[in-house]
């Protein structure tokens, strides 16, 4: 009685878990299978639904120049804040230099510059120059790549695309794959959002020479440490601004779309504490002068400073649509690109090609699945039928898990599902063969089932665990489609272990008495004689 009770508890435990797994698989896979409006679904990758494939290059050498420009701006702010007299502050592609007019301030300057990592500072009397060490230059280039990848990924996530692929390719290239891009307008919008530098700078207008900007060239402007920038609305209109900005977008914390009094879209931005302090200090000392709001080398507005502006907030107005304003806000929020990117390669994958890929993959999956089912039933009879139940449950569970987590299914992922079918069958074949061997040895049905599962367990675990380790490595070091393949394999392995080890064992226990009573091993296990 105790033995029967124990077996009944074991039977109930396994069957209940297996039944719950099947219900879970069916319920959560239905939205993807039926393509319903609601519910979580599996996302289709670039190769299955079409989209955009791009290979971007990164101008890493400009990252160093950008950092030197920021250092020059910080030196200017530090000097103004501490009443340190400096002159001829300028920078180029490789160095920053200035004159220190009072050598008593050398200690303060050294402390400030010493806090900046990777600088090689040369003190020659009142002339101070600095440049990055070769190690820091290399580090900056590597950071520019990483920052570009992260920034582009953030922009595309906010753009609304599902599972965009953004990954490093080679030393200075970035692979971008956007599934679901179907129209030329969507493609253009995505490309502009990716490539936009979104470099915000607040720059002082050179009021002393502003009236001569129309007759001045870049070389003459450079003599006064100025640059000539065009107006964003009318490029014929020019502004003469100080080359070293008051602050840049690195101090920006938020940007969102708003509307002015005429209901035109504007971008409201907020600065961090350091940026707010610099902004407030500058506006307080320059009342009556103009401050140019510059975005990607164009002046969007240059309002007069009427009073000190605290709080660290500002506004960018321009002649753009609501959609353009939203994209600009996305670009600003996600951060400016430290180094500009450029298009090296572009390919569009049409939806029809994706549909052909899905059709071919489904033929392969269904064809392989049907052949496996037929083989299992013909060779193992009822045992093969039990294995097929587990196999069908396995497919539903894979699809359900991928749907639940919003995973992306790619063409290699479809291949991974086909491979998973083979691996799931392999586990059932091992178990069935062990049971048949034990029956041949004269073991009872109960002993054959229990020892068959026990003996097969090690081989199944060894095969699945080693494959799972390989899948984890592929996911960790692979990109795009390789990750999709690794995900489907991993989910399939875990699902097959549940269905093959737990599910079929529970079915055998449920049918054990019936198998013993029939004494027809040929029907149940395909054993002749």
- Given a contact cutoff of 8 angstroms between Cβ atoms, the answer to whether 339 and 64 are in contact is no
136, 166, 183 — which closes off a domain?
A: 136
Number of domains in the chain: 3
Does one domain contain both 86 and 114? yes
- pLDDT tens-digit profile of 245-260? 888 777 777 778 888 7
Does one domain contain both 355 and 478? yes
422: closest CA among 348, 474, 496? 496
Q: Compute φ and ψ for 366, nearest 5 degrees.
A: -65, -40
Residue found under tokens 């922009």: 155
Domain of 20, CATH number, reads 1.20.1640.10
**Parent domain of 196:** 52-61+137-348
C-alpha–C-alpha distance, residues 47 and 412, integer Å: 9
Does one domain contain both 196 and 342? yes
Does one domain contain both 111 and 197? no
Per-residue pLDDT, averaged over 212-229, amounts to: 89
More confident residue, 356 or 526: 526
Helix and strand counts by DSSP (H, E) for the chain: 16, 19
> Which DSSP category does 312 fall into?
S
* pLDDT beyond 80 at 86: yes
> Which segments of 303-418 are extended strands (E)?
313-317, 341-349, 408-409
Domain of 343, CATH number, reads 3.30.1360.200
Q: Give the CA diameter of the chain.
A: 108
* CA 518 remoteness from chain centre: 58
In sequence order, the 6+-apart residues with CB closer than 8 A to the CB of 76 are 86, 89, 244
- pLDDT tens-digit profile of 448-461? 999 989 988 888 88
C-alpha–C-alpha distance, residues 225 and 246, integer Å: 14
> Quick one: pLDDT at residue 335?
67
> Quick one: pLDDT at residue 343?
87
* pLDDT beyond 90 at 303: no
- Given a contact cutoff of 8 angstroms between Cβ atoms, the answer to whether 267 and 258 are in contact is yes
State the pTM of this model.
0.61
Give the 3-state DSSP-derived string for 9-70, with helices as H, strands as E and coil as C. HHHHHHHHHHHHHHHHHHHHHHHHHHCCCCCCCCEECHHHHCEEEEEEEECCHHHHHHHHHH
Instruction: Please work out, in degrees rounded to the nearest 5, the angle formed at the alpha carbon of residue 53 by the alpha carbons of 343 and 166.
Output: 85
* Range from 48-52, 120-124, 339-343 carrying the lowest mean pLDDT: 48-52
> Quick one: pLDDT at residue 1?
41
- pLDDT tens-digit profile of 322-360? 887 787 777 777 667 778 888 888 887 765 655 676 777
Domain of 81, CATH number, reads 3.30.980.20
Does one domain contain both 117 and 205? no
> Quick one: pLDDT at residue 234?
85
46: closest CA among 192, 160, 161? 161
Burial 446-461 (b: 16+ CB within 10 A, else e): eebbbbbbebbeeebe
* pLDDT beyond 90 at 306: no
483: closest CA among 473, 492, 474? 474
Does one domain contain both 320 and 204? yes
Does one domain contain both 56 and 97? no
Does one domain contain both 273 and 374? no
Q: Compute φ and ψ for 130, nearest 5 degrees.
A: -150, 150
> Which DSSP category does 3 fall into?
H
């Amino acid at each position: 009685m105790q033995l029967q009770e124990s077996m009944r508890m074991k039977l109930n435990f396994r069957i209940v878990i297996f039944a719950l797994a099947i219900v879970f698989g069916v319920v959560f896979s239905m939205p993807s299978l039926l393509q319903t409006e609601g519910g979580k679904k599996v996302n289709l990758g670039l190769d299955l639904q079409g989209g955009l494939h791009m290979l971007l290059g990164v101008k890493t050498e400009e990252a160093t120049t950008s950092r030197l420009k920021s250092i020059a701006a910080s030196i200017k702010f530090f000097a103004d804040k501490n009443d340190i007299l400096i002159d001829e502050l300028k920078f180029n592609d490789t160095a920053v230099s200035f004159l220190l007019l009072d050598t008593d301030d050398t200690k303060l300057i050294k402390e400030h510059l010493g806090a900046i990592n990777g600088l090689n500072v040369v003190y020659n009397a009142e002339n101070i120059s600095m440049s990055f060490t070769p190690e820091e230059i290399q580090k900056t280039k590597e950071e520019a790549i990483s920052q570009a990848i992260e920034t582009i990924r953030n922009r595309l996530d906010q753009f609304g695309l599902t599972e965009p692929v953004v990954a490093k390719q080679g030393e200075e290239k970035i692979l971008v794959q956007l599934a679901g891009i179907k129209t030329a307008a969507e493609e253009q919008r995505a490309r502009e959002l990716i490539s936009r530098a979104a470099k915000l700078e607040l720059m002082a207008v050179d009021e002393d020479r502003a009236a001569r900007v129309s007759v001045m060239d870049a070389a003459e402007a450079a003599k006064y440490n100025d640059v000539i920038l065009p107006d964003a609305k009318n490029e014929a209109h020019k502004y003469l601004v100080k080359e070293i900005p008051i602050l840049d977008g690195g101090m920006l914390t938020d940007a969102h779309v708003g509307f002015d009094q005429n209901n035109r879209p504007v971008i409201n931005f907020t600065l961090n504490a350091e940026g707010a302090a610099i902004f407030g200090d500058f506006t307080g000392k320059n009342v009556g002068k103009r401050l140019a709001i510059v975005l990607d080398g164009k002046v969007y507005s240059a309002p007069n400073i009427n009073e000190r502006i605290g709080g660290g907030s500002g506004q960018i107005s321009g002649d753009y649509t609501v959609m353009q304003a939203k994209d600009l806000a996305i670009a600003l929020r996600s951060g400016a690109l430290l180094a500009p990117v450029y298009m090296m390669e572009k390919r569009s994958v049409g939806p029809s090609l994706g549909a052909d890929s899905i059709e071919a993959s489904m033929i392969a999956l269904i064809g392989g699945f049907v052949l496996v089912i037929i083989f299992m039933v013909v060779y193992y009879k009822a045992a093969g039928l039990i294995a097929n139940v587990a196999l069908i449950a396995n497919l539903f569970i894979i699809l359900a898990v991928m749907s639940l987590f919003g995973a992306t299914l790619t063409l290699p992922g479809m291949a991974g599902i086909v491979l998973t079918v083979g691996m799931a069958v392999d586990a059932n074949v091992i178990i069935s063969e062990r049971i048949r061997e034990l029956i041949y040895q004269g073991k009872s049905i109960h002993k054959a089932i229990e020892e068959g599962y026990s003996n097969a367990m090690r081989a199944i675990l060894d095969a699945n665990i080693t494959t799972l380790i390989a899948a984890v490595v592929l996911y960790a070091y692979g990109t795009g489609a390789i990750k999709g393949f690794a995900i489907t394999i991993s989910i399939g392995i875990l699902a097959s272990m549940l269905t093959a080890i737990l599910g079929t064992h529970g079915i055998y226990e449920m049918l054990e008495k019936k198998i013993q009573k029939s004494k027809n091993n040929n029907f149940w296990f395909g054993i002749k004689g």
